[in-house]
Amino acid sequence: MSLSKNNRSEQAAIKRNNVIIGVLGARLDHGGLGGKRWRRWRPNISMLLQQSIEISEFILIYHKDEEELAVLTIKDMAALSPQTKVQSYLVDYDDPWDFEQVYSQLHDFASKQNFDAEKNNYLVHITTGTHVVQICLYLLTEANYIPGQLLQTSPSAEGKGKPVGKYQIIDLDLSRYDLIASRFEHESRQAIAYLKGGIETRNKDFNTLIKQLEQVSIRSTEPILLTGATGVGKSRLARLIFDLKKQRCKMRGKLVEVNCATLRGDNAMSAIFGHIKGAYTGAASDRKGLLLEANHGLLFLDEIGELGLDEQAMLLRAIEDKTFMPFGSDKESHSNFQLIAGTNRNLFKQVEKGEFREDLLARINLWSYEMPSLKARIEDLAPNIEHELELFTRKASYKVAFNKGAKEKYLTFAHSEDALWKANFRDLNSSITRMATLASGGRITEDVVDTEIRRLSCDWHCYQPASAERDNQDLLNKILGNEAVEQIDLFERLQLADVVRLCQKSKSLAEAGRKLFNISREAKANSNDSHRLRIYLRKYGLEFRELN
Ligand SMILES: Nc1ncnc2c1ncn2[C@@H]1O[C@H](COP(=O)(O)OP(=O)(O)OP(=O)(O)O)[C@@H](O)[C@H]1O
Ligand SMILES: [Mg+2]
């Protein structure tokens, strides 16, 4: 903390009524009982001798052991400055070096005052009292329990024989100090550059997002929600936020990261919340769970939209109360973690469909950031290409660069309508990796670029059905397991995937059955759609309730 004199705060001090809050110093304020005391420097008295500041009110805090000195000091104050209203406040801690006792009594003092910071300029005098008293006064002022500035006094240079001495006002609003403010700005600029991963960013929206996120990362421990399409950098940003918090000592635990799409059934509960031995068949020993691992650290739940409804309910409680029940346990566990959630799904739509809890969304939607796609921040493409080349160079230990014509060709394509950048930075990373690997002698030629452009165009335009097929495969793999899916004909897979999707969107077996067999039911007098669907699903060992 700078103790330098601050002119601006002194000027401010002169405009409003100055009220000093000071603790009677058993030693420093003791100038003896006789006439000699008027010639001695007594810190609290000295403030009433200052020409440059008028004191309207003085609140003198004194310990019960110093009653006699307090009476004399108040009398002297009245004699020196009749216009100052002097009030006294009694404290009676057993030990003035006991932090707990002193803090609680001074906190009581602060709570009982009707501070009016509009009218009064409070100056908290920290020269007298034990160091513990001074620390407590500082803490109470810093935390704004006492809405004031600190006041420090010292004897004048000519020696202790002069009663007036000097004073300094220390404003704890650091932003008022130019030197400190510029240091903060510098730190903030560094943090912003860090969150950008050291890559130059020209896109206005992304810059605004990162600027706010820097403040939130440093100041808040509340949940952060990162949304945006696949590959826009949500996971990467979550890791950078964690690193930044660590660097700034805002977090002492570790980063625990999980993709919720990998968590299903009993395993989801126990992976997140832990379990006790025997909680379910196969639970051979206690399991800590991710929440406990993330204690005092950061839990990054990627694809949070994939989390089951039961887990969502437990998670909400864990965020709000910091407590949760490990699977199979009847004892609560505690974990103080910060949550960052990532998703490429629209959670509001999921709420509408009953797939995501509204209360959980409300809780994690406090600091939410929609990350722009690569196409939406296409002006950042060129610096990102350079960044990818540097990464490749570092890994491969040899430098790779574009030939001039090749670079122009690639950039023209990359900025064109045809370049969809569907998987965003993931596509860019793969594309540069391919070209850099194929570059003979470290030069990316036009031929290499031509091949790459053909490849990307095909990925984005030729293989639509293949990706739908992949989606089906992923869906069925999740439900049946890879091995079982491999035993099913493609013809059946396509049908089954659509049936499963429809079931997942339906509230009951009957509703799904009605939708699926609508036409054939119309033709029959008697129908049992539910039964037909149940039989169909059972052919694959599936039950409707398991799909939802
Ligand atoms: N701004 C960026 N600049 C350069 N590379 C980036 C940027 N953002 C992400 N990447 C890179 O792109 C890849 C994908 O990023 P990341 O895994 O963070 O995306 P994501 O949004 O979490 O995707 P998903 O939704 O699929 O989980 C990573 O290799 C990452 O390092
Ligand atoms: Mg991710």
pLDDT category at 13 given cuts 50, 70, 90 is very low
pLDDT category at 5 given cuts 50, 70, 90 is very low
Read off the pLDDT of residues 162-181 as tens digits, 9 standing for 90 and up.
889 999 999 877 767 777 77
DSSP class of residue 344 equals S
Determine the average pLDDT of the residues in 138-155.
93
pTM of the model: 0.70
Read off the pLDDT of residues 87-101 as tens digits, 9 standing for 90 and up.
999 999 999 999 999
Q: Which residue has the higher pLDDT, 179 or 39?
A: 39
For residue 301, which ligand has an atom nearest its CA? Answer: 2
Q: What is the mean pLDDT of the chain?
A: 89
Which tokens go with 369? 């950031």
Read off the pLDDT of residues 333-356 as tens digits, 9 standing for 90 and up.
999 999 999 999 999 989 998 999
Instruction: Among 242, 343, 379, 425, name the best residue to mutate to test ligand 1's pocket (greatest count of ligand atoms within 8 A of Cβ).
Output: 425
Distance CA 213, CA 207 (A): 10
User: What's the CATH number for 7-175?
Assistant: 3.40.50.10770
Strand order in the sheet with 255-259: 255-259, 298-302, 338-343, 224-227, 367-370
Q: Which protein residues are within 6 Å of ligand 1, measured from CB?
A: 197, 199, 228, 230-236, 302, 342, 344, 384, 387, 425-426, 429
Instruction: Among 426, 427, 428, 432, name the best residue to mutate to test ligand 1's pocket (greatest count of ligand atoms within 8 A of Cβ).
Output: 426
For residue 422, which ligand has an atom nearest its CA? Answer: 1
Domain 182-370 fold? Rossmann fold (3.40.50)
Q: DSSP letters of 124-182?
A: EE-SSS-HHHHHHHHHHHHTTSS-EEEEEEE--TT-TT-SS-EEEEE---GGGSHHHHH
Distance CA 434, CA 449 (A): 10
In b/e form, how buried is each residue of 499-530, taking b as 16+ CB within 10 angstroms? bbebbeebeebeebbbebbeeebeeeeeeebb
- Quote the pLDDT of residue 452: 96
Determine the average pLDDT of the residues in 442-458.
95
pLDDT category at 303 given cuts 50, 70, 90 is very high
Domain 375-462 fold? Helicase, Ruva Protein; domain 3 (1.10.8)
How many C-beta neighbours within 10 Å does residue 278 have?
12
By residue count, the chain amounts to 548
- Quote the pLDDT of residue 160: 53
- Amino acid 282 reads G
Domains 7-175 and 182-370 share a fold: yes
Q: Is a pLDDT exceeding 80 seen at residue 57?
A: yes
Q: Highest mean pLDDT range out of 11-25, 180-194, 239-253?
A: 239-253
Q: Is a pLDDT exceeding 60 seen at residue 465?
A: no
- Quote the pLDDT of residue 481: 83
Distance CA 297, CA 351 (A): 28
pLDDT category at 480 given cuts 50, 70, 90 is confident
Ligand 2 center from residue 226 Cα (angstroms): 10
Break the chain into its structural domains and give their ranges. 7-175, 182-370, 375-462, 466-547
Q: Check residue 274 and give left, alpha or beta (phi > 0: left; psi -120 to 50: alpha).
A: left
Ligand 1 center from residue 387 Cα (angstroms): 13
For residue 206, which ligand has an atom nearest its CA? Answer: 1
Residue located nearest, by CA, to atom 9 of ligand 1: 233
- Amino acid 145 reads Y
Q: Is a pLDDT exceeding 60 seen at residue 2?
A: no
**H helices within 481-543, ranges in order?**
482-486, 490-505, 509-516, 518-523, 529-539
Residue located nearest, by CA, to atom 5 of ligand 1: 425
